[in-house]
């Protein structure tokens, strides 16, 4: 009788344990992010912790890589079997990712209400061929940052509205002995240089591709590179710009060694933080300038999205995580390093307070965001253009010859 009772109790305990483990069964998803610009690693971890508290049955493993490693890491992981469930992707990759089935089409998961509530320009980040391959998450463009104190000392009343005015003001600052090289750019042989170049192409009203063929070697595309070379050779641009990425530009600007810098949204609040920045309280921001007779302002679409990979074994949980990370409540809470994708967020004092100047610049910049080309061959095109920019800056080739060569090597 005792043995029988023990067996019954043991059986009940085992069944109970089975139910308990089932009730708390944890699904683990892997997510890949970048470790620079926009949201900080600490912010992404804090957002994810809040998601995990609200969804204790889903565990999220986070991995961070520099932007330069994000594309290849995503693509290589697809064939490894382990892979990621959620990946951060740049606006330039949906064409390639859709064509090669890296991301799944999530059009059916996005409600009409969501489509109406998100800023129209943000949707271009995740679309290809009429389908949606994720949710926009980082809404970003490059702005012209300036040091208010240096401009004041130089007797400059207002920041430049055109790129020619930028050169004139930089020359005034240099001539008055305030700074030897007043302008800082991200012109390293990397995607960063393409973003600066695309900003200028937008100002000069150029085209990257026309009728499926490269068109950047003429018109506005050529004018943009000529401007870069002139600025570099004039001595107004920091000569180290040819090796700088965005973080290098931020550090130079925060140290007080640049009067002007082109950079993403995130630099505004970081440069205004007295803990890390020598120029806190002196940071001005305006839309990137235009070209007289052609444009009032210029901007590149530097937005990024979160998508579910085709290798994911847990697409529902992955989408739940993406929905949380891109939600208006989450984005409004972390609006100091990346502005929300939601239209109504811009009338929320929690978002705008303390960064009214940035919001003012964003209203202009985000409205004129210029896309880098939408093509499955984007990586080849970008690599060819990066080389052309570098060769031109170093004087190894004229802008005309460098861009002709890039057009031949673009894969288009």
pLDDT of residue 411: 84
Same-domain check for residues 159 and 181: yes
Q: How many domains does the chain have?
A: 2
**Residue 22 belongs to a domain:** no
Look at 2 and 32; give whichever has higher pLDDT: 32
Residue 177 is assigned to a structural domain of this protein: yes
Helical H runs in 59-147?
A: 67-78, 94-99, 112-117, 120-123
What is the model's pLDDT at position 25? 61
Residues 170, 307: one domain? no
How many other C-beta atoms lie within 10 A of the C-beta of residue 318?
Answer: 27
Same domain, 314 and 284: no
Whether the per-residue pLDDT at 12 is higher than 70: the answer is no
Residue 120: predicted pLDDT: 86
Same domain, 382 and 239: yes
Q: Kindly indicate the confidence band of residue 82, based on its pLDDT and cuts at 50, 70 and 90.
A: low
**pTM (2 d.p.):** 0.85
Q: Is 178 inside any structural domain? A: yes
153 within a domain of the structure (yes/no): yes
DSSP, residue by residue, 21-59: HHHT--EEEEEEEESSSSS-HHHHHHHHHHHHHH-TTEE
For residues 281 and 400, state if they share a domain: yes
Integer-rounded Cα radius of gyration of the chain: 24
Tell me the C-alpha distance between 203 and 291, whole Å: 6
What pLDDT, on the 0 to 100 scale, is given for residue 21? 40
Give yes or no for a contact between 337 and 38, defined as CB atoms under 8 angstroms apart. Answer: yes
DSSP class per residue in 171-201 = HHHHHTTS-SS-EE---STTHHHHHHHHHHH
Q: Which residues are CB-neighbours of 138 under 8 A, at least 6 positions away?
A: 38, 39, 88, 302, 303, 304, 305, 338
Tokens representing residue 178 in the block = 């305030």
Provide the domain limits for residue 81.
27-140+302-368
Tell me the sheet residues that pair with 53: none
Element (H or E) spanning 298, and its range? strand 297-298
Q: What is the pLDDT of residue 38?
A: 81
Q: Residue 211: left if φ>0, alpha if ψ -120 to 50, beta else—which one?
A: left
Q: Tell me, what's the pLDDT at 15? A: 42
Residue 15 lies in a domain: no
Q: Does 11 map to a domain?
A: no
Q: Check whether residue 132 and residue 208 sit in a common domain.
A: no
Is the CA virtual torsion 231, 234, 236, 241 positive or negative? Answer: positive
Q: Which among 290, 261, 280, 258 has a CA at the least distance from the CA of 144?
A: 261
Same domain, 216 and 119: no
63 with 89, same domain: the answer is yes
- 153/196 same-domain check: yes
Task: Check whether residue 293 and residue 153 sit in a common domain.
Answer: yes
**Is the domain of 238 the same as that of 99?**
no
More confident residue, 26 or 149: 149
Q: What are the structure tokens assigned to 368, written together?
A: 């004129």
Reported as a single tens digit per residue, the pLDDT across 232-248 is 999 999 999 999 999 99
Q: Is residue 193 part of a domain?
A: yes
Cβ pair 163, 199 in contact under 8 A: no
- Residue 14 is assigned to a structural domain of this protein: no
Average pLDDT, the chain: 92
pLDDT digits (tens, 9 = 90+) for 284-313: 999 999 999 999 999 999 999 999 999 999
CATH number at residue 149: 3.40.190.10
Same domain, 340 and 394: no
Convert the pLDDT of each residue in 302-356 to its tens digit: 999 999 999 999 999 999 999 999 999 999 999 988 899 999 999 899 899 999 9
């Amino acid at each position: 009788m005792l043995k029988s009772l023990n067996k019954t109790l043991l059986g009940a305990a085992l069944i109970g344990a089975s139910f308990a483990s089932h009730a708390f069964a944890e699904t683990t998803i892997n997510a890949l992010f970048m470790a620079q610009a926009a949201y900080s690693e600490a912010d992404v971890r804090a957002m994810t912790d809040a998601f995990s508290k609200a969804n204790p049955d889903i565990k999220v493993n986070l991995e961070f890589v520099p932007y330069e490693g994000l594309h290849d890491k995503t693509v290589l992981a697809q064939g490894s079997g382990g892979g990621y469930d959620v990946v951060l992707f740049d606006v330039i990759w949906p064409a390639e990712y859709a064509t090669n089935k890296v991301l799944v089409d999530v059009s059916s998961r996005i409600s009409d209400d969501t489509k109406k509530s998100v800023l129209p320009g943000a949707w271009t980040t995740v679309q290809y061929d009429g389908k949606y391959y994720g949710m926009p998450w980082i809404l970003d463009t490059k702005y012209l940052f300036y040091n208010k104190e240096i401009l004041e000392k130089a007797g400059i009343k207002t920041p430049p509205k055109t790129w020619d005015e930028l050169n004139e003001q930089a020359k005034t600052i240099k001539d008055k002995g305030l700074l030897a090289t007043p302008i800082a750019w991200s012109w390293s042989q990397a995607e960063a240089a393409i973003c600066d170049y695309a900003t200028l192409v937008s100002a000069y009203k150029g085209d990257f591709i026309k009728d499926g063929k490269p068109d950047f070697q003429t018109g506005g595309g050529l004018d943009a590179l000529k401007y870069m070379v002139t600025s570099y050779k004039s001595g107004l641009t920091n000569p180290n710009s040819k090796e700088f990425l965005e973080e290098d530009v931020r550090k130079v600007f925060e140290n007080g060694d640049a009067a002007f810098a082109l950079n993403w949204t995130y630099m505004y609040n970081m440069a205004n933080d007295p803990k890390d920045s020598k120029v806190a309280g002196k940071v001005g921001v305006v839309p990137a300038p235009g070209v007289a007779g052609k444009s009032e302002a210029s901007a590149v679409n530097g937005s990024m999205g979160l998508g579910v990979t085709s290798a994911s074994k847990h697409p529902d949980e992955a989408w739940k995580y993406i929905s949380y990370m891109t939600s208006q409540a989450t984005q409004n809470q972390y609006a100091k390093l990346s502005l929300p994708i939601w239209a109504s967020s811009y009338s929320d004092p929690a978002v705008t307070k303390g960064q009214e100047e940035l919001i003012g610049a964003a209203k202009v910049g985000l409205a004129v965001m210029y896309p880098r080309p939408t093509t499955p061959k984007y990586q080849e095109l970008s690599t060819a253009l990066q080389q052309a920019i570098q060769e031109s800056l170093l004087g190894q080739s004229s802008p005309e010859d460098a861009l002709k060569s890039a057009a031949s090597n673009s894969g288009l």
